[in-house]
Structure 1
Amino acid sequence: MAGPGREVRARVYGNVQGVGFRIWARDEAISLCLAGWIRNEADGSVTTRIAGLDEAVSTMIERLWKGPSGALVSRVDVEELAPGNTFAEFRIVA
């Protein structure tokens, strides 16, 4: 990762399961050259950890507010983490 890096954990709430949110987010993250993971939570939310260039991470956070067609995002909570990108790719985890 060249340049200033940023790492965040984001939790996305609303109608975000059963609408292809994780696949959509993975594809968006890959297009932005981000690394990390995304998973469904038992409460119906989705959690993602995103690492990469600051501008790309910011763009991904903006995109999380929209999601794929069929999603209805009501809230996105973002927690800044100390950059320590140990992820080689962006993947969907169970």
Structure 2
Amino acid sequence: MDKAKPVSTPFPSHVKLSSKQSPTCEKEKENIAMVPYSSAVGSIFLSKPGIEHWNAVKWILIYLKGTSKMRLYFGGRKPVLIGYIDADMAGDLESKKSTS
């Protein structure tokens, strides 16, 4: 991820993850087994990850790389706060629950 171009959002709004994207054949299972998915995410989305899940993790890592020099300063200069809020309506593809 060293040479990845930074992204401006923590997660792309067009990506929707689901357990239906988990590998269904042996070739897909072998392919995902070769990527460092579990070491990158710990216990988040660890059950049956698919390639879409790995691509989502890479997006987050690229975002973190691009924001690694951002800091929160107190005093001295006029503060500038950059933040994000995300919400969706029934965005969970399986349970149709909303996220905020």
Q: TM-score range by the shorter chain?
A: under 0.3
TM-score w.r.t. the length of structure 2 is 0.20
Higher strand share: 1
User: Larger Rg: 1 or 2?
Assistant: 2
Higher relative contact order (CA 8 A, sep 6+): 1
